[in-house]
């Protein structure tokens, strides 16, 4: 015998299922009525009070292709995203596997992975379709793409074509330095810049009170100068663009300019009252940043008092200086967590960025995007931030998880290398603008405070407080895609 409440729900459910179940509903109702107590009488149930035990959704009309592509990458968590950034090869394999599943389960008919491998692919399901097609009609290749009856592969023809599609060769970056040099007395000081690589393929390194030159062509080492007689020490070094002059900043505040061809000091610049930790050349003009919070710009060909420009906006030590590729703008970073942009004429900064939460030493201008500036913050910030100096607007940023010590753009591709201190002591290669990690290099046991790039743009050298210089092959030289066409070339035309 049915309970009366269950009987009512059962009758309503069967009645709602349609006319085909009317007879069954009647028989069940009459059978239930025979066993019903006398004090219960049948009641009418309005259509608005229907109640069911559970809801069974109907998914027949769902667009599974859209649902599949709307999966948010952010819902996977930061750990998965971090692993994906650190392993680009695994990410590409995952995309290929995802495309394969779409073909087999959803009939997506994806034949090439390259359109799906973009790091910043758009996951929006909205697809713009035109009502009219103004194109030449093409033959239907459905019959041509069907699987052969003799094929033993369990995959469809689309999936087989997907797996056979050419794959972009993955660039391998060696995790092992190709050369390691000892650098005794290389200071472990975040605010100094003691390593620079000239356009003549000569490396200058400040070790204690001396500056040494190492030729990458001959591996010959020469001592350029020694400041121990004055009780002084080297705090910064910088080559000019031609590679014949090297500027040496000192702890006492003066700067020496040396001609390396004749091994002779050609100029001595004074004006700072504290150590000079940052140097940057712009033609014959040398910019210097000091602990006295000043930036001085002087022409090394003239006396110090002639044409000197004093830029005073920082409230603490200036530790980063970089000129833009067109030599029109100077970016400066300081221990006051501020990043300034100056032009050639004004004595006040034209742009001020205050988003960093720690000292800004790492500064790099992009050689590929006009006006794009990258900067990195210290231990309390840990972020690499990008700025559009043409509009003064901040762009994207990435939290590296450790102190950012240096930044350098690749000369041949839109990639960026960063060196880090506490607590990872690592070297990271980033792809811009997706900000995915291309490589992670480790080996230094101290903060990687110094970074310089070879003149050909393929190798970098890093220095740390562990008193070693490590050379890495990081970037590959891009081959020119332009054809060699000239009216003087006899083989480009038929005569």
Per residue in 329-342, pLDDT (tens digit) is 999 999 999 999 99
Count CB atoms within 10 A of the CB of residue 379. Answer: 16
Q: What is the DSSP string of 153-179?
A: -SS-HHHHHHHHS--PPPPP--SS-SE
CA pair distance 199, 138, nearest whole angstrom: 55
pLDDT at 145 over 80: no
> Full-prediction pTM beyond 0.75?
no
> Among candidates 409, 411, 366, 414, which has minimal Cα distance to 390?
366
- Quick one: pLDDT at residue 316? 97
Calculate the CA dihedral of residues 112, 114, 115, 116 and round it to 10 degrees: 90
- Quick one: pLDDT at residue 333? 98
Report how far apart, in Å, the C-alpha atoms of 361 and of each of 188, 354, 372, 425 are: 14, 14, 17, 16
Q: Give the SS3 label for residue 4.
A: helix
pLDDT at 112 over 90: no
* pLDDT average, residue stretch 240-257: 97
Assess contact for 265 and 225: CB atoms under 8 A: yes
Distant-in-sequence, close-in-space partners of 389: CB < 8 Å, separation ≥ 6: 324, 329, 331, 341, 351, 371, 372, 373
pLDDT one-digit tens code per residue, 176-228: 999 999 999 999 999 999 999 999 999 999 999 999 999 999 999 999 999 99
pLDDT at 36 over 60: no
- Quick one: pLDDT at residue 158? 78
Structure tokens at 198: 């000239």
CA pair distance 433, 397, nearest whole angstrom: 10
- Of 50 and 23, more confident: 50
CA pair distance 427, 417, nearest whole angstrom: 7
Count CB atoms within 10 A of the CB of residue 104. Answer: 14
pLDDT one-digit tens code per residue, 405-423: 999 999 999 999 999 998 8
> Among candidates 430, 341, 432, which has minimal Cα distance to 391?
341
* pLDDT average, residue stretch 26-41: 45
Distant-in-sequence, close-in-space partners of 287: CB < 8 Å, separation ≥ 6: 279, 280, 281, 295, 296, 297, 321, 323, 330
Note the CATH number of domain 179-473. 2.130.10.10
Structure tokens at 448: 């990687």
Three-state SS letters, 201-244: CEEEEEECCEEEEEECCCCCEEEEEECHHHCCCEEEEEECCCCC
pLDDT at 289 over 90: yes
CA pair distance 321, 268, nearest whole angstrom: 20
- Quick one: pLDDT at residue 489? 47
> Among candidates 227, 234, 222, 253, which has minimal Cα distance to 195?
234
- Quick one: pLDDT at residue 25? 43
* Band of residue 103 on the pLDDT scale cut at 50, 70, 90: confident
Distant-in-sequence, close-in-space partners of 477: CB < 8 Å, separation ≥ 6: 412, 456, 457, 458
pLDDT one-digit tens code per residue, 375-415: 999 999 999 999 999 999 999 999 999 999 999 999 999 99
* Band of residue 153 on the pLDDT scale cut at 50, 70, 90: confident
Assess contact for 429 and 442: CB atoms under 8 A: no
- Quick one: pLDDT at residue 93? 74
* pLDDT average, residue stretch 139-153: 59
- Quick one: pLDDT at residue 61? 54
Count CB atoms within 10 A of the CB of residue 6. Answer: 11
Least confidently predicted of 37-41, 358-362, 453-457: 37-41
* Band of residue 119 on the pLDDT scale cut at 50, 70, 90: very low
* pLDDT average, residue stretch 92-119: 73
Assess contact for 5 and 12: CB atoms under 8 A: no
Per-chain mean pLDDT for the chain: 81
Q: What is the DSSP string of 330-392?
A: EEEEETTS-EEEEESS-SS-SEEE---SS-EEEEEE-SSSTTEEEEEE-TTT-EEEEEETTTT
Cβ-in-10-Å burial (0-12, 13-18, 19+) of 368 comes to middle
> What ranges make up the beta strands (E) of 432-476?
436-442, 448-453, 459-464, 468-473
Percentage of the residues of the chain whose pLDDT score is greater than 90: 58
Tokens 């030599």 sit at which residue? 327
Give the residue extent of every domain in the chain. 179-473
pLDDT at 106 over 90: no
- Of 73 and 292, more confident: 292
- Quick one: pLDDT at residue 64? 53
Percentage of the residues of the chain whose pLDDT score is greater than 70: 68
Tokens 């009987």 sit at which residue? 7
pLDDT at 362 over 80: yes
- Quick one: pLDDT at residue 466? 96
pLDDT one-digit tens code per residue, 429-448: 999 999 999 999 999 999 99
Report how far apart, in Å, the C-alpha atoms of 343 and of each of 296, 338, 347, 349, 388 are: 14, 17, 8, 7, 15
H or E segment to which residue 93 belongs: helix 88-101
Assess contact for 208 and 233: CB atoms under 8 A: yes
- Of 147 and 348, more confident: 348
First to last CA, the chain: 105
Distant-in-sequence, close-in-space partners of 452: CB < 8 Å, separation ≥ 6: 195, 196, 197, 203, 408, 460, 461
* Band of residue 116 on the pLDDT scale cut at 50, 70, 90: low
Most confidently modeled range among 62-76, 141-155, 229-243: 229-243
CA pair distance 84, 90, nearest whole angstrom: 7
pLDDT at 87 over 70: no
pLDDT at 134 over 70: no
């Amino acid at each position: 015998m049915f309970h009366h409440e269950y009987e009512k729900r059962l009758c309503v459910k069967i009645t709602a299922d349609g006319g085909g179940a009317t007879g069954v509903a009647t028989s069940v109702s009459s059978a239930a009525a025979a066993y019903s107590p006398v004090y219960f009488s049948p009641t009418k149930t309005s259509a608005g009070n229907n109640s069911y035990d559970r809801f069974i959704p109907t998914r027949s009309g769902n667009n599974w292709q859209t649902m599949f592509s709307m999966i948010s990458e952010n819902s996977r968590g930061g750990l998965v995203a971090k692993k994906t950034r650190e392993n680009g090869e695994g990410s590409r394999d995952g995309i290929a596997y995802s495309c394969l599943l779409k073909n087999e389960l959803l009939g997506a008919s994806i034949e090439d992975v390259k359109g799906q491998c973009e790091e910043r692919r758009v996951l929006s399901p909205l697809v713009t379709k035109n009502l009219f097609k103004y194109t030449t009609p093409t033959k239907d290749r459905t019959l041509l793409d069907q699987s052969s009856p003799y094929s033993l592969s369990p995959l469809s023809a689309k999936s087989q074509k997907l797996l056979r599609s050419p794959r972009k060769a993955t660039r391998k970056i060696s995790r092992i330095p190709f050369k390691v040099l000892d650098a005794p007395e290389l200071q472990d000081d975040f605010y100094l810049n003691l390593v620079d690589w000239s356009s003549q393929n000569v490396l200058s390194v400040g070790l204690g009170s001396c500056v040494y030159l190492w030729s990458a062509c001959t591996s010959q080492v020469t001592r350029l100068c020694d400041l121990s007689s004055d009780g002084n020490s080297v705090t910064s070094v910088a080559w000019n663009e031609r590679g014949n002059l090297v500027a040496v900043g000192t702890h006492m505040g003066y700067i020496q300019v040396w001609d390396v061809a004749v091994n002779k000091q050609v100029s001595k610049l004074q004006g700072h009252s504290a150590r000079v930790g940052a140097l940057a050349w712009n033609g014959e003009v040398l910019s210097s940043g000091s602990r006295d919070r000043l930036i001085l710009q002087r022409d090394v060909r003239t006396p110090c008092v002639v044409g000197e420009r004093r830029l005073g906006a920082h409230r603490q030590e200036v530790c980063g200086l970089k000129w833009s590729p067109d030599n029109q703008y100077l970016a400066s970073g300081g221990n006051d967590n501020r990043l300034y942009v100056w032009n050639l004429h004004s004595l006040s900064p034209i742009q001020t960025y205050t988003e960093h939460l720690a000292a800004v030493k790492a500064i790099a201008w992009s050689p590929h995007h006009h006006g794009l500036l990258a900067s990195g913050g210290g231990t309390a910030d840990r972020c690499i931030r990008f700025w559009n100096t043409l509009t003064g607007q901040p762009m994207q940023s990435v939290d590296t998880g450790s102190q950012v010590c240096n930044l350098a753009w690749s000369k041949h591709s839109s990639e960026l290398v960063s060196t880090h201190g506490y607590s990872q002591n690592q070297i990271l290669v980033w792809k811009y603008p997706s900000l995915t990690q291309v490589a992670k290099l480790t080996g230094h046991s101290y903060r990687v405070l110094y970074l310089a790039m070879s003149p050909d743009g393929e190798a970098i050298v890093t220095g740390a407080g562990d008193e070693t210089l490590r050379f890495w092959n990081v970037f590959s030289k891009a081959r020119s895609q332009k054809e060699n066409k000239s009216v003087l070339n006899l083989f480009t035309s038929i005569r």
